[in-house]
A and B are shown apart, each in its own frame.
Chain A
Amino acid sequence: MTLDFSWLFDPLYQTWLLRGVGTTILLSLLGMVLMFVIGIAGAALLHLKVRFLQSPVTIFVELFRNTPPLVQLFFLYFMLSEIGLTLTDPVTGGRIPLFTGFTCVVLSLGLYNGAIAVEIIRSGLLAVPAQTVEGARSLGYSRLQTFRHVELPIGLRMSIPPMTSNIVSLIKTSSQAVLVAVADIMYGATQIMLETFRNLEVMLLIWIIYLVIASIAVLVVRRIAAAFRIPGYGS
């Protein structure tokens, strides 16, 4: 078996791949933002024991954590087109669907990994030493202020190691975008495979690209963690 990578020198294929990498990174970044919003909000509601909201948050977390993100994606994609929400394009005046494949992928990434993030941040909050919280309370901070200024900053730092693997998982999951025809890196790969029939070589290259993206993400998180380190809390 010989591997032939000569197709890689074709400028057209290079453009497809680069554009795909850009889409994948954009998808992942937007998904991460949504993941953090859901994760922090959910963990706060559970940690502060907000009445009437605890059970809905728990149900949300269990629903999205225990079902495949791919089925969630298909479900969102088909349900939102079934309901048929559309916007009027201000430029052309035509109707465009409010939820494109891209939006659905970002939503599903944010929901699935956000549900996991709720649990991660919550255990980070539980790992904050009780004395620190009591100290803040005795200094006159209210329950909410303690949460905002003491528990959340320390708890988020405590949750960095599991959050790193959650972020890597989000980047890996984003490869599902190709199945609802979003032009991410996998989509570029399938296009090239259709034209060159070099299936194995293309897939190996994509595999390496994903490894590089995931490794860069891990390095960036490590730099951020080091920059925001509080001496004495976490490693």
Chain B
Amino acid sequence: MNAELKLFALGTAGVTLVLAALLVTVYGAETGRVLQALAARTPLLLSGSPDFSRFEGGFAANIVISIWAMMIAAVAGTALGIGMISQSLLVRAPSVLLMNVLRNSPWLVVLYAMLYLLPFEIEAFGTIFSFSPVIKAIIGLALPVTANIAEVFRGGVEAVPTGQWESARSLGYRRLQILRRVVVPQAIQFMTPNLMTTYAMLFIGTSLVVVTGANDILSVARTVIASDGAHYATAIYLYVLFLFFLFCFPIAILTRWLEQRVRVRQ
């Protein structure tokens, strides 16, 4: 953990200094006033409400969207991953094709496509489900991430020695039982660091939901710039950069530490 802690200290301090230096370079003597303006807008950027009374917009919305998208993608990605290691070519080939298509699609295009593909609302089982921009954003982000998780799942399962499969089979387990009770519990340690990297990538991707009209941090930032003046744009984007960094950097450090631990244990 020591090397990672050192890197964490260096990265956090270094990036804070670099961003502060940029702010001072751009604004010069005005920096104090700009910082005051940023402080006044902080609740709005973080929670979407002017006084932290509700947490349904801004950075909080990015976090909520990323968690929902990750949960959906985890379920769908596991299913797709099981399909990709299926013994039947009829299941395996379409699964691999779907994975490759989803993995090579630009997230922005998928988000736009979901915006137009998903209906405004659908009626099923007597109730009306409406697709708000947030739900469309969640589905649009979950699709490409599904492919990444399927790939992580396949890689993790393949990292488990084949002897495990053979001995479980000789004990009379069926394929899905072997996966659930023998292979996946052992593979989870190989998957965890990669899943965390995928989540960090997804969180970085939530910046794109600004195009769907969800009330995320970039939409709030744009509103603030429109009301306070384009003069503040640089400062506000610097601030948004800093927020994303503060969220993603600890995840990256933790991932590195876990990877190191898995490697040592082998």
Main secondary structure of the interface of A (DSSP, over half): helix
The answer to whether A55 touches B14 (Cβ under 8 A) is yes
Q: Which residues of A contact B138 (CB under 8 A)?
A: none
Specify the chain A residue showing the minimal Cβ separation from B203.
A68
Main secondary structure of the interface of B (DSSP, over half): helix
Q: Considering residues A62, A72, A82, A178, which has the most beta carbons from chain B within 10 angstroms of its beta carbon?
A: A62
* CB of B240 within 8 Å of the partner chain: yes
User: For chain B residues 231-257, which have a beta carbon within 8 Å of chain A?
Assistant: 231, 233-234, 237-238, 240-241, 244-245, 248-249, 252
Q: Which residues of A contact B200 (CB under 8 A)?
A: 66
The answer to whether B10 touches A58 (Cβ under 8 A) is yes
Q: Which residues of A contact B126 (CB under 8 A)?
A: none
The answer to whether B105 touches A207 (Cβ under 8 A) is yes
Count CB-based A-B contacts (< 8 Å): 122
Select which of B7, B15, B113, B230 is within 8 A of A63 by beta carbon.
B15
Q: Considering residues A79, A186, A199, which has the most beta carbons from chain B within 10 angstroms of its beta carbon?
A: A79
* CB of A194 within 8 Å of the partner chain: no
Given contacts A55-B14, A59-B10, A68-B205, contact A75 B26 (CB under 8 A): no
The answer to whether B245 touches A67 (Cβ under 8 A) is yes
* CB of A233 within 8 Å of the partner chain: no
Give the docked Cα–Cα distance between A207 and B114 (Å). 11
Specify the chain B residue showing the minimal Cβ separation from A201.
B116
The answer to whether B234 touches A75 (Cβ under 8 A) is yes
Cβ distance B5 to chain A, nearest Cβ, rounded Å: 14
The answer to whether A211 touches B105 (Cβ under 8 A) is yes
* CB of B172 within 8 Å of the partner chain: no
* CB of A160 within 8 Å of the partner chain: no
Select which of B11, B18, B108, B237 is within 8 A of A186 by beta carbon.
B108
8 A-B pairs in the complex with CB atoms less than 8 angstroms apart:
A59-B11, A59-B15, A65-B252, A68-B205, A68-B244, A70-B208, A75-B234, A175-B106
Query: Interface residues, chain A, CB within 8 Å of chain B?
Result: 55-56, 58-59, 62-63, 65-72, 74-75, 78-79, 82-83, 168, 171-173, 175-176, 178-179, 186, 199-200, 203-204, 206-207, 210-211, 214-215
